[in-house]
Structure 1
Amino acid sequence: MTRSVIGTFLSNINLSIKEFFLTMQEFFLFSVRAFATIPKIKRYWRDFLDQATIAGTDSLPIVLVSSISIGALLAVEVGNLLEDFGAKTMLGRSTALSVIRELGPLIMGLMLSARYGSRNGAELGAMKISEQIDALRAFGTDPVAKLVMPRLTAALIVFIPLTAIADFAGLYSAALLAEHYHKIDPGIFWNAVFPRLVLKDFVVGFLKAPVFAIIITLVSSFNGFIAQGGTAGVGRSTIKGIVVSSGLILVANFYVSKLVLENM
């Protein structure tokens, strides 16, 4: 009895490992195909513009709300901490580094993972379940070029200005809270921001935008392409895409910061 249970357990583990590596192989090939079809962007420029609107303009409200909230909260908490040491004039510097290097890109990435990634997963999953993707193949159209590549290129382009907007909104809300909550003169706040920012601060923040764009788009689209099991399967693939992409964003956020700060 014990041997059979152990054997079944080991067999399930072996099957899970094989399934994991098979999925990784499929995802790698899927990603290579998505990048390889980028030269076909002129053929699908309308799809690209639609996705740029969805990823950019339509996502702007949630990015602004998140960035403003984080910037304001950061100013209050960090200001209270610095006040204990009599260093409130350093609030601008501390807030700028936190927002530009880390929080601006990270919050933007997580919000777009939930909004843009979930849309990609649900839409492509529904197309897979309803056999629309198979219909594209039957008519001689590459579904990766038609459905994934415009999403990828749009995200690569619009995530950078979205990061800039998130940084500005976070810093401006922090400046307002510094003025009205901590009674810090705006000139003192901004003078602690601009002279002390260096190139690597911006490289760290803005390099994360295309990395997050690749992660969100490819992970969510891949999970949509492998969806199965009806509408419940679409829901599972969408949730899996959000969870995996969010986790990878957190990991990538650390390693991009580490690599840039150590080598610049």
Structure 2
Amino acid sequence: MNLAPATAFRKDINLRLKDFFLTMQEFFMFSVRAFLTIPKIKRYWRDFLDQATICGTDSIPIVLVSAISIGSLLAIEVGNLLEDFGAKTMLGRSTSISVIRELGPLLMGLMLSARFGARNGAELGAMQISEQIDALRAFGTDPVAKLVMPRLIAALVMFLPLTALSDFAGLHSAAYMAEHYHRLDPGMFWNAVYPRLAPKDFVVGFVKAPVFAIIITLVSSFNGFSARGGTAGVGRSTIKGIVVSSGLVLVANFYVSKIVLENM
């Protein structure tokens, strides 16, 4: 019996596992270095302001578009369902819980994973390929402190207000559709929102912002630093960063909700 295919398959699996665990080790050390360089933020405050503008101010349009779209659609679909049961007055409660706990932070995270994460991966990947990162090391500058840490701090600072903006836009678009599509009085909509929202609803939504900021920034930056193979390698590392960070955002969204709701 020919065992060569089975042997080759086993070797391939071993190599893949070794590569995976080596990558996880490198990513862990990369993340630790990024956090350890945070005290150097005063030296790189201009880089921080530039990155805050990129991931904050420049991201407002895409966050608004996604939040308004999903808020409007949610109000239409949930309103149609509640109308069948004669419970249309609960539309405000249903949409507010969905937007504040889940959809607002999640859409913000996915949009910024595609926008901010892609920019990080492409920019840092191009610098890695063109040996600019090696040049920083040669001049005695820590590339993680110079390039990654300002991005991480900017994301941690700006993702919170972007989450609040996403929630605000989603709720008001839902209220607009409730009034003009379902003919629901605005007072009835908002009276079902404010008195019924509990602190844990806001905690669930806003705890996700820093978690998503850490995931998106570190994953995209790590893949940028790992780029190899010319411009094609930059493209591969950028795509990998977007895919991995988006997947981790979805996983983190579930576990953050589960942990917070079970302990509050």
Per the normalisation by structure 2, the TM-score is 1.00
- Where 2:56 maps in the other structure, the secondary structure is helix
* Whole-angstrom CA distance in 1 between matches of 2:153 and 2:174: 32
- Aligned counterparts, 1:172-251, within 5 A: 172-251=172-251
Q: Displacement of 1:141 after TM fit?
A: 0.1
- Match of residue 4 from structure 2: 4
Partner of 1:124: 124
Shift of 1:59: 0.4
1:166 equivalent in structure 2: 166
Q: Deviations over 1:144-163 (max 9, x none)?
A: 00000000000000000000
Match of 1:32 in 2: 32
What does 1:99-178 align with in structure 2 at a 5 Å threshold? 99-178=99-178
User: Shift in Å at residue 170 of structure 1?
Assistant: 0.2
- Cα distance in 2 for partners of 1:4, 1:238 equals 36
Deviation per residue, 1:123-175 (Å, 9 max, x gap): 00000000000000000000000000000000000000000000000000000
Between the aligned partners of 2:84 and 2:35, the Cα distance in structure 1 is: 51
For 1:127 and 1:4, the matched residues in 2 are separated by 42
1:89-139 deviations in Å (ceiling 9; x for gaps) = 000000000000000000000000000000000000000000000000000
Q: Note the alpha carbon deviations across 1:40-63, whole angstroms, 9 max, x for none.
A: 000000000000000000000000
Distance 1:202 1:109 in 2: 16
Gaps (5+ residues) in structure 2? none
- 2: distance between equivalents of 1:188 and 1:41? 48
SS in 1 for 2:55: helix
| 1:4 to partner: Cα distance | 1.1
Q: Which runs of 4+ in 1 moved over 6 A?
A: none
Extract unaligned runs of 5+ from structure 1.
none
Separation in 2, partners of 1:220, 1:240: 8
What's the counterpart of residue 94 of structure 1? 94
CA RMSD of aligned residues (A): 0.5
Q: Distance in 1 between matches of 2:192 and 2:253?
A: 25
| Distance (whole Å) between structure 2 residues aligned to residue 182 and residue 64 of structure 1 | 23
CA offsets 1:40-87 (integer angstroms, 9 cap, x no match): 000000000000000000000000000000000000000000000000
Letter in 2 for 1:255: Y
Q: How many residue pairs are counted as aligned between the two chains? A: 264
CA distance in 2, matches of 1:169, 1:225: 36
Q: Which amino acid aligns with 1:85?
A: F
Matches of 2:76 and 2:223 in 1, distance apart? 40
